[in-house]
């Protein structure tokens, strides 16, 4: 096996079962030095279990995990290192700070356990507290802290002994919206500043898109897609990923013809009317007759109040307004066409009334065709 020295964490063919249930199935991922990788997916898809296998809190039945050059678990080779023998820091959803200790002692604990000298403990603890902006509260008892401050203590505690990797399991979910955004930005800043390799778990797609260098989308114990945020958003590999990341309309139909990337898709009407005949792109390998999801992002759809001229090859769909929601800088709307709902984004003011007839157009390259 060729080992890339930039790879900090390598997970290969990881399997974890609980009784008859498969929590993680054939998980493969290499994470490079300094990278911020997020495991994203709905509740129960196996994110925490994967993270706990890296931490040593769960023992997988199959696979191999390396941290740096060290194999930390490999059942086939009878290798398993306890969590305390793995060079990792952890930040979880529950703050897990010790209330009977000061902020300083909470953070210093990990260094004391590792028998660092007292001058080293002082320097490194204060440095970690400075990084999270809590140096002025070093002497305060943890019970006297706000939720955000406790989460910062947890963060300082995880980075103080400079682990090779830091693991985050939904650390922001207990915070209110405003604090969540602030902590999110702080974690990203800190991560870049310290340059520490990070694995972050969340079910919140916007958190994943904002924070990550790469996102691993999971569903039902299986990795669906790995990519940077832009790639995952623009080029989802299947309808699950398309639906989970951002807002989208998925029109279910079948391929009627294809020419290279260009696809013709017929979407049957859901209310007995004529089917929608649309042009999209993608679905390499799909043949006429195959089922297709046509994925349409709201920002790629243009709204018209009069029938538009589409001699330039755009798709046009006639429909009726369902409703619109005012979101400050733009409107979100829903239009019903052929019994299907299509989401649109309107960035200039339009006075639309329910049931009003409108026309939607989109370029064929924006109708991403997916086969599953
Ligand atoms: N200790 C456990 N015992 C039994 N089943 C578990 C245990 N931990 C997790 N599971 C199951 O494994 C699956 C994956 O769980 P988990 O990794 O916690 O998902 P996520 O973090 O993505 O929400 C779920 O179906 C969950 O019920
Ligand atoms: Mg979880």
CATH of the domain at 42: 3.40.50.300
Listed residue (218, 227, 213) closest to 37, CA to CA: 213
Q: Tell whether 41 and 85 lie within a shared domain.
A: yes
The verdict on residue 48 lying in a domain is yes
Dig out the tokens for 277 from the structure. 């005949």
Question: What pLDDT, on a 0 to 100 scale, did the predictor assign at position 349?
Answer: 66
Is 2 part of any domain? no
User: 331 falls in which pLDDT band (50, 70, 90)?
Assistant: confident
* Residue 337 belongs to domain with CATH number: 2.40.50.100
Dist. CA 41–CA 274, nearest whole Å: 36
Torsion angles phi and psi, residue 26, rounded to 5: 45, 55
Q: Is 202 in the pocket of ligand 1 (CB under 6 A)?
A: no
Is 184 close to ligand 1, i.e. is its CB under 6 Å away? no
Q: Please identify, among 181, 206, 240, the residue that sits at the C-terminal boundary of a domain.
A: 240
DSSP assigned state of 133: T
Q: Show which of 209, 240, 271 is a domain's final residue.
A: 240
The reply to whether 45 and 170 lie within a common domain is: yes
Kindly state whether residues 53 and 154 are assigned to the same domain.
yes
User: Residue 245 domain-assigned?
Assistant: no
pLDDT of residue 298: 95
Give domain status of residue 216, yes or no.
Answer: yes
Per DSSP bridges, beta strands 62-67 and 7-18 are antiparallel
pLDDT score for 97: 85
**246, part of any domain:** no
**What is the number of structural domains in the chain?**
2
> Is the CB of 361 within 6 Å of ligand 1?
no
Looking at the structure, do residues 25 and 69 belong to the same domain, yes or no? Answer: yes
Q: Give the burial class of 188: count Cβ atoms within 10 A of its Cβ; 0-12 exposed, 13-18 middle, 19 or more buried.
A: middle
Is 80 domain-assigned?
yes
Sorted by sequence, the CB contacts under 8 Å of residue 250 that are 6+ apart come out as 239, 242, 243, 293, 294, 295, 296, 370
pLDDT at 276: 96
Please report whether residue 265 resides in a domain: yes
Q: Please state, rounded to an integer, the average pLDDT across all residues of the chain.
A: 93
User: Closest ligand 1 atom to the C-alpha of 218?
Assistant: 22
Query: Is the backbone of residue 224 left (phi > 0), alpha (psi -120 to 50) or beta?
Result: alpha
Same domain, residue pair 288 and 215: no
Q: How many CA atoms lie within 13 A of 165 on its CB side?
A: 31
Same domain, 115 and 13: yes
Would 1 be classed as within a structural domain?
no
Specify the residue with its C-alpha closest to ligand 1, atom 1: 18
For residues 186 and 194, the answer to whether their CB atoms sit within 8 Å is no
Task: Give me the phi and psi of 14, to 5 degrees please.
Answer: -75, 130
Check whether residue 198 and residue 279 sit in a common domain. Answer: no
Contact present, 139 and 126 (Cβ < 8 Å): no
CA distances to 187, 226, 289, 307 from 342, in Å: 36, 27, 24, 17
pLDDT at residue 327 tops 90: no
Residues written for the chain = 372
Q: Yes or no: say if 45 and 240 are a contact pair by the CB < 8 Å rule.
A: no
46 CB under 6 A from ligand 1?
A: yes
Q: Is 49 in the pocket of ligand 1 (CB under 6 A)?
A: yes
57 and 106, same domain (yes or no): yes
| 211 and 66 within one domain | yes
- Out of 240, 269, 299, pick the residue that ends a domain: 240
What residue's CA is closest to ligand 1, atom 25?
A: 44
> Which of the residue ranges 34-48, 193-207, 334-348 would you say has the lowest mean pLDDT?
334-348
In this prediction the pTM is: 0.91
- CA gap 294, 249 in Å, rounded: 8
| Residue 121 belongs to domain spanning | 7-240
Please tell me whether residues 280 and 209 are part of one structural domain: no
Provide the 3-class DSSP secondary structure of residue 28. Answer: strand
Same domain as 91, residue 168: yes
3-state class percentages of the chain: helix first, strand second, coil last, to nearest 5: 25, 40, 35
Ligand 1, atom nearest to 19 Cα: 4
- Nearest residue by C-alpha to atom 21 in ligand 1: 48
Pocket lining: 18 vs ligand 1, CB cutoff 6 Å: yes
The reply to whether 292 and 349 lie within a common domain is yes
Separation between Cα atoms, residue 361 and residue 196, nearest integer Å: 46
Distance between CA atoms of 132 and 135, rounded to whole angstroms? Answer: 8
Query: So what's the pLDDT on residue 35?
Result: 97
Summarised one tens digit per residue, pLDDT across range 217-272 is 999 999 999 999 999 999 999 999 999 998 999 999 999 999 999 999 999 998 88
pLDDT at 148: 86
47 Cβ closer than 6 Å to some ligand 1 atom: yes
Atom 24 of ligand 1, residue of closest alpha carbon? 44
């Amino acid at each position: 096996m060729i080992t890339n020295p930039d790879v900090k964490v390598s997970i290969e063919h990881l399997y974890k079962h609980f009784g008859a249930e498969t929590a993680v199935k054939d998980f493969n991922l290499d994470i490079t030095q300094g990278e911020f990788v997020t495991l994203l997916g709905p509740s129960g898809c196996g994110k925490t279990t994967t993270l706990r296998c890296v931490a040593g809190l769960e023992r997988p039945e199959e696979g191999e995990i390396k941290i740096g050059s060290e194999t930390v678990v490999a059942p086939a080779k009878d290798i398993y290192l306890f969590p305390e023998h793995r060079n990792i820091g952890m930040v979880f959803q529950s703050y897990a700070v010790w209330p009977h200790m000061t902020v300083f002692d909470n953070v210093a604990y990990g260094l004391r356990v590792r028998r660092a000298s007292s001058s080293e403990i002082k320097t490194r603890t204060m440095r970690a507290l400075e990084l999270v902006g809590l140096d002025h509260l070093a002497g305060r008892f943890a019970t006297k802290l706000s939720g955000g401050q406790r989460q910062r203590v947890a963060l300082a505690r995880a980075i103080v002994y400079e682990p090779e990797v830091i693991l985050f399991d939904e650390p922001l979910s207990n915070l209110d919206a405003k604090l969540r955004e602030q902590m999110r930005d702080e974690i990203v800043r800190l991560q870049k500043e310290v340059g520490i390799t990070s694995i972050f778990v969340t079910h919140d797609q916007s958190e994943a898109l904002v924070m990550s260098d790469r996102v691993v989308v999971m569903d039902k114990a299986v990795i669906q897609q790995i990519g940077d945020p832009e790639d995952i958003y623009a080029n989802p590999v299947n309808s699950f990923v398309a639906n989970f990341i951002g807002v989208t309309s998925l029109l279910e139909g079948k391929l009627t013809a294809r020419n290279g990337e260009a696809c013709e898709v017929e979407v049957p009407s859901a209310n007995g009317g004529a089917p929608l005949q649309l042009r999209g792109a993608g679905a390499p390998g799909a043949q006429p007759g195959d089922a297709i999801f046509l994925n349409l992002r709201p920002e790629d759809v243009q709204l018209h109040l009069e029938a538009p001229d589409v001699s330039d090859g755009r798709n046009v769909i006639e429909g009726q307004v369902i409703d619109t929601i005012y979101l400050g800088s733009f409107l979100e709307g829903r239009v019903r066409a052929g019994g299907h709902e299509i989401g649109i984004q309107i960035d200039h003011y339009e006075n639309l009334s329910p049931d009003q007839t409108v026309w939607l157009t989109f370029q064929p390259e924006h109708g991403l065709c997916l086969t599953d």
